Structure 1
Amino acid sequence: MANSLSFRSILDANKLTGPNFIYWFCNIKIVLKQEKEAYVLDGPVLEVPSDDAINEENEAYRVYMDDLDQATYMILASMAPDLQNQHEAMNALDITLNLKEMFNKKSHTERFDILREFFRCKMSEGNPIRPYVLKMIEYITRLEQLG
């Protein structure tokens, strides 16, 4: 339980305000992975079982819906109040889809800027290689975070 609370404190310290969407989403995924609920964002959406479904199917669907609810509450709790109000009637899947649509333009621009700097980066003759390699690693890491 203490481990779970320490991971959730990451979200309390880094609430979604808009411009920080990429970093916030990475943190959400980290916490959901620790809680064993990340599959609700990544995996297939479970359909409502039919009336003649076996108990295992009904139980799997119930667990899936509980985990989806928990992910939704966690996501909403880690947002600024104005964003919470906009998304309170949605589930975690719809919230993340909507947020990606809202904030993805910025990530495209940021990705373009990073790539431009990456390709312009040249090592000067006679300078040590270490700062150059570290700069390239920084660009690659930032691109990975943007997706």
Structure 2
Amino acid sequence: MNRDILIFFCVLLFLSVTVQASSPFVTSEEEAAGYYYQVTKEENTYTWLIEGKDNIQTVIETEENEDRLQSFRTGVENANSHLSTLWITGVFFVIVSTLTLYLFNKRSHGVKESLPVIIAALCVPIYILFTASIELSQALNDAEYYFQSLIR
């Protein structure tokens, strides 16, 4: 009886490993500002689920479209990175600005003397916000361009 149970569990284990090895799995995915991709691998085939501007397509990766798919991926990843930069820098700017206004309204003597340093410190996040928004726009344009080239 114990031998039968052992054989049963071995068969179950073998079937479980076989099913898992042949079932598709997601290798990567990313989303940013209305663009999305998900790459699924099944055996030697990569299937991409791509989304942009209320349009969803499933694309099987081939030699002909591999570069465009990778460029779409890069555009989405860059857009996500620039969005994160915008959020972090924006929060920093709001906190420093609010703190400066609060201290300035308290008529703190230290704030008036260090106002040039505070203004200079606020110029850095303004510059970062400006450049990140330009880079975000470019990344979204790239993602849109490659998305359109893939769905045609």
Band of TM-score, shorter chain: under 0.3
* TM-score normalized by the length of structure 1: 0.28
Instruction: Give the structure with the higher percent strand.
Output: 2
TM-score, normalised on structure 2? 0.27
Bigger Rg, structure 1 or 2: 2
More helix by share: 1
